[in-house]
């Protein structure tokens, strides 16, 4: 029988319960659930323990109480440590979980793999474990963490990253992706596939970009550029001339491009591409009749070029996106941040 791997899942106050429960259940199931279904002798591969900073119960963001078995001080050497999500009030969370930071550093120094779910990457970054390393988090919290922890090589497009025995995962249910990644890493592909089939979930996903709502522009105070943004939003499906738009604003084209990039963080044509991709995503979610029809409606004549642009921004072809998200359309804000002064 293979050696059992010791895992500690650390509960955090105010996080989504599933960011702790999903790793517990996936790792507990490895070598156990499939064997049970098949009538074979169980061969559990992970010994999972659950801890909180002080050993006391924690309450999740949805008011679900979670009861640990241990306090951090009860647990020394481990093979794997998984930290649940942090929530968004990072200053309060770091104060509340201050003992967690040196404990994480100590476990990593002893050779443990240290992993985080969603915004839980903030705990790893605060502990200094992510400095100079690749890391991911939920696409919506990536910019906040990038500003707070600039020494980290953030890759929010990834569902799971691994660098120097430190792993991170994207959103809340990327907890399943990270857990199956660990099963595959320690137990092999076959055990991971059996675990996924037993739980009726897919194998780890690669990219978040298809799920993200693209941030079209960052907040800025340039009223003239906001005027340009509003014009582009209203006319993104037409043949856009930057020379004409710049002239309408009373600027030279080069001045307009430089000023637009400084205000929004994007070149005007890249901004236009993002507008078109967002419109295309919404049409595909609504079950558009054909990719060609979407291409025509958003202002592209070359369907091959449209596919290239769409894949660059989402990580999927338009057809793949429609298969994944048709029927899931939600209202979109016209421009995120562009009208904020």
Residue ranges of the chain assigned to CATH 1.10.10.60:
223-325
Give tens-digit pLDDT for 215-251: 566 667 888 998 998 899 888 888 889 999 999 999 9
Check residue 327 and give its pLDDT. Answer: 54
**Strand-pair category, 70-71 with 65-66:** unpaired
DSSP-derived pairing of the beta strands 160-162 and 166-169: antiparallel
Query: With a cut of 70, which residues of the chain have pLDDT below it?
Result: 1-2, 202-219, 325-341
Return mean pLDDT, the chain.
83
Say whether domain 5-211 belongs to CATH 3.40.50.880: yes
CATH superfamily of 223-325: Homeodomain-like (1.10.10.60)
What's the pLDDT at 250? 93
pLDDT at position 216: 63
The pTM of this model reads: 0.63
Question: Of 292, 291, 251, 285, nearest to 268 (Cα)?
Answer: 251
Q: Where in the chain is the domain with CATH 3.40.50.880?
A: 5-211
Residues of 133-144 as b/e, b for ≥16 C-beta within 10 angstroms? bbbbbbbbbbee
Q: Are 43 and 212 in contact (CB under 8 A)?
A: no
CA–CA gap between residue 270 and residue 189 (Å, rounded): 40
SS3 of 51, please?
Answer: strand
Q: Which long-range contacts (CB under 8 A, 24 or more apart) does 162-167 make?
A: 162/134, 163/133, 163/134, 163/135, 164/133, 165/108, 165/111, 165/112, 165/113, 165/114, 166/108, 166/113, 166/114, 166/115, 166/124, 166/129, 166/130, 166/133, 166/135, 167/113, 167/114, 167/115, 167/116
Q: Which residues of 202-231 are buried (b: 16+ CB within 10 A; e: fewer)?
A: ebbbebbbbbbebbbbeebeeeebbebbee
pLDDT at 19: 85
């Amino acid at each position: 029988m293979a050696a059992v791997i010791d895992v500690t899942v650390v509960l955090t106050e105010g996080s989504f319960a599933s960011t702790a429960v999903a790793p517990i259940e996936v790792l507990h199931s490895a070598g156990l659930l499939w064997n049970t279904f098949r009538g074979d002798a169980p061969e559990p591969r992970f010994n999972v323990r659950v801890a909180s900073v002080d050993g006391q119960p924690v309450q999740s963001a949805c008011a679900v109480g979670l009861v640990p078995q241990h306090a951090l001080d009860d647990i020394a050497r481990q093979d794997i440590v998984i930290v649940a999500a942090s929530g968004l009030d990072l200053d309060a969370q770091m104060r509340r979980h201050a003992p967690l930071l040196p404990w994480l550093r100590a476990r990593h120094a002893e050779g443990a793999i240290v992993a985080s779910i969603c915004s839980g990457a903030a705990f790893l970054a605060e502990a200094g474990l992510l400095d100079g390393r690749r890391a991911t988090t939920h696409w919506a919290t990536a910019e906040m963490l990038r500003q707070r922890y600039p020494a980290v090589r953030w890759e929010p497009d990834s569902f799971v990253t691994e660098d120097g025995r430190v792993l991170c995962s994207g959103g809340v249910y990327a907890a399943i992706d990270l857990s199956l990644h660990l099963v595959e890493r320690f137990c092999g592909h076959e055990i991971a596939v059996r675990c996924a089939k037993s739980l009726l979930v897919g194998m780890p996903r690669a990219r978040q970009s298809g799920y993200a709502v693209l941030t079209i522009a960052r907040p800025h105070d340039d009223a003239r550029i906001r005027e340009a943004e509003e014009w582009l939003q209203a006319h993104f499906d037409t043949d856009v001339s930057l020379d004409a738009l710049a002239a309408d604003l009373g600027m030279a084209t080069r001045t307009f491009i430089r000023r637009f990039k400084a205000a929004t963080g994007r070149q005007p044509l890249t901004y236009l591409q993002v507008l078109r991709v967002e419109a295309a995503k919404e049409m595909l979610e609504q079950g558009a009749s054909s990719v060609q029809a979407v291409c025509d409606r958003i202002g592209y004549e070359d369907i091959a070029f449209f596919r290239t642009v769409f894949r660059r921004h989402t990580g999927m072809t338009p057809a793949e996106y429609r298969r994944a998200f048709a029927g899931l359309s939600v209202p979109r804000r016209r421009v995120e941040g562009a009208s904020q002064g």
